[in-house]
Amino acid sequence: MAEPKANEHMEKIVSLCKRRGFVFQSSEIYGGINGFWDYGPLGAELKRNVKDFWWRSMTQKREDVVGLEATIIMHPKIWEASGHTSTFSDPMVDCLLTKKRFRSDQIDPQSGTVYFYSGAKDSTSEKVSSEAYSVLIGNGKHPDHARKIARQFYTTRGVANPELLGERTELIEGTVRYNPGNGSLFTEPRPFNLMFKTYVGPVESEDNVAYLRPETAQAIFVQFKNVLDVARQKLPFGICQIGKAFRNEINPRNFTFRSREFEQMELEFFIKPDETASKSSFPGEPGTEPSWGWEQWHKYWVEERVKWYESIGLSRDVLDFHWQQKSELAHYAKATVDILYKFPFGTQELEGIAARGDYDLTQHQKFSGKSMAVFDEETKERFIPHVIEPSAGVDRLILALICNAYTEEETTDEKGLKETRIVMKLHPRVAPVKVGIFPLLKNKPELVKKAQEVRDLLRAEMPVFYDDAGAIGRRYRRQDEAGTPFGVTIDFDTLGETPDLKDTVTLRDRDSMQQQRMAIGDLVPFLLSKIR
């Protein structure tokens, strides 16, 4: 069965994350807080590397994208204009028995027998329950289960002798009206706005309501004109931002995958509203054709993003794509493709790339009264740019990288005994520590001195970890689990015991476990070529 295996696999990953300091539960000593996660020493480095690499790829290495860093709390009208105040909601249901809350669109359809209980007179309390309550039990389960749940339900409502309730049954297929955990009925679905509300200033009145941003994108739209004025850019060009976003998710789950506080990396790429360009061919480099239509730009960004994922170790075969059908698209979107990763708990979204037309800028023009149009020198026309939006979640990507890296391998230790090696095969670009530095023995001052020299040489260029405790094999294993791609061992040959090998070290590759001798002077250029 696939599911227990996937659960077991996730449990191992979650346990390694805690044990090695990638991810901790937020506020753990107080029992934790659902939907919030902290990154420990290794996780913080990993996250920083991912964000830095995205930023470098998106803006610093390109001519046509600039950056922005906006506030988390913004004018509340922004969320009216964007539609978040009225429509940014998920359908929510409550279990009538446990009061636990669920997202109704995430409940798996179930089939079975539904037991309907209705309000018979209760002889003990003389109360009459007019409520009707039903319980679903999966095929093959005993009806007593349903009776027990119904009894619990009526007992919580003060009916002293629920045994006397009337009962009838019905076979039902594919329903999402019942809690899969206990068979109890859900309330009717109702919309639940996902934005966190707060008050700005000392007075808690409706006039002072503000929201923690549920996405970073809107700040880019509202600063579009300011950036255009200063950035010396012409269309097509983009503005990108990395930052926190907050969503009061009804049911946070799958470790960090669905959190209430998370980070996004978003690009808004503004293009001319030129939809007449050839749609059949996908041209080569941007800029080689002046009038790419939105479809070409959309495909271009999908391809760019996939290449980016490949460059940090997520190959195409662990990714998947969902091109949204017309019926799934937001009303303003022309096309959306989700890039998915094959997580152990299912294939799920990492990033959405949407062609959003001119919806957002038009809305902000309408709500702010400020023009969002640009003047095109070539055509002498004014228009509101259209936009392509690649929007990625940092935390989901970190989780994908961690899941992808986690490997168990059967090896034999120095004594020839079989053992399981746990190794995090993180791409050197994103690995938290790039190289482990190990003096062969810690009680030989000459070795330690030399090892510290090597550490200082490398530390100036990259994060390193110096470890002199325990057998060398154990030290390698510790760095394998941390995802450190290289290990450097300083031994007696380094000191000149074999004259030809003076000032060389052993360089160990984490994944192949191959070792090679390398001159200390060659280490920096070699390692930099691997981690950049």
Out of 52, 131, 304, 349, the only residue in the binding site for ligand ATP (CB under 6 A) is 349
- Per CB under 6 A, which region of 4-12, 26-34, 280-288, 385-393 contacts ligand ATP? 385-393
Q: Does 47 bind ligand ATP (CB under 6 A)?
A: no
Buried b (16+ CB within 10 A) or exposed e, 465-496: bbbbeeebeebbbbbbbbbbbbbbbbbebbbe
Out of 94, 358, 395, 467, the only residue in the binding site for ligand ATP (CB under 6 A) is 395
- Per CB under 6 A, which region of 23-31, 106-114, 168-176, 390-398 contacts ligand ATP? 390-398
Collapsing DSSP to helix, strand or coil, 400 comes out as helix
**How many CB atoms sit inside 10 A of residue 76's CB?**
17
Residues 6+ apart with CB under 8 A from 369: none
Please identify, using beta-carbon distances, which residue of 108 and 229 lies nearer to ligand ATP: 108
Please identify, using beta-carbon distances, which residue of 235 and 245 lies nearer to ligand ATP: 245
Q: Does 268 bind ligand ATP (CB under 6 A)?
A: no
d(CA 344, CA 400): 9
Question: What is the smallest separation between the CB atom of 102 and ligand ATP, expressed in angstroms?
Answer: 14
Question: What is the smallest separation between the CB atom of 197 and ligand ATP, expressed in angstroms?
Answer: 17
Residues 6+ apart with CB under 8 A from 483: 42, 46, 405, 423, 424, 425, 426, 431, 432, 433, 510
Restricting to residues 290-309, name those near ligand ATP by CB under 6 A: none
- Per CB under 6 A, which region of 160-168, 257-265, 469-477, 498-506 contacts ligand ATP? 257-265
DSSP conformation letters of 247-279: ---SS-BTTTTB-SEEEEEEEEEEE-----S-S
List phi, psi (to 5°) of 528: -60, -35
DSSP conformation letters of 199-257: ESSS--SGGGEEEB-S-SHHHHHHTHHHHHHHHT--SSEEEEEEEEEE---SS-BTTTT
Out of 218, 241, 363, 391, the only residue in the binding site for ligand ATP (CB under 6 A) is 391
Restricting to residues 178-217, name those near ligand ATP by CB under 6 A: 215
d(CA 198, CA 40): 28
Q: Does 259 bind ligand ATP (CB under 6 A)?
A: yes
Would you give the binding string for ligand ATP spanning residues 221-250, x where CB under 6 A is met?
A: --------------------------x-x-
- Per CB under 6 A, which region of 163-171, 183-191, 228-236, 344-352 contacts ligand ATP? 344-352
d(CA 384, CA 373): 4
Considering CB under 6 A, how many residues would be counted as binding ligand ATP? 16
Question: What is the smallest separation between the CB atom of 262 and ligand ATP, expressed in angstroms?
Answer: 4
Question: What is the smallest separation between the CB atom of 19 and ligand ATP, expressed in angstroms?
Answer: 23
DSSP conformation letters of 124-151: TT--B---EEEEEEETTS-HHHHHHHHH
Question: What is the smallest separation between the CB atom of 328 and ligand ATP, expressed in angstroms?
Answer: 10
Question: What is the smallest separation between the CB atom of 249 and ligand ATP, expressed in angstroms?
Answer: 5
Tell me the helices (H) and strands (E) count for the chain, helix number first: 14, 26
Give the residue nearest to ligand ATP (CB): 393
Question: What is the smallest separation between the CB atom of 4 and ligand ATP, expressed in angstroms?
Answer: 24
Judged by the rule CB under 6 A, the positions of this chain that interact with ligand ATP are 215, 247, 249, 258-259, 262, 264, 349-352, 391-393, 395-396
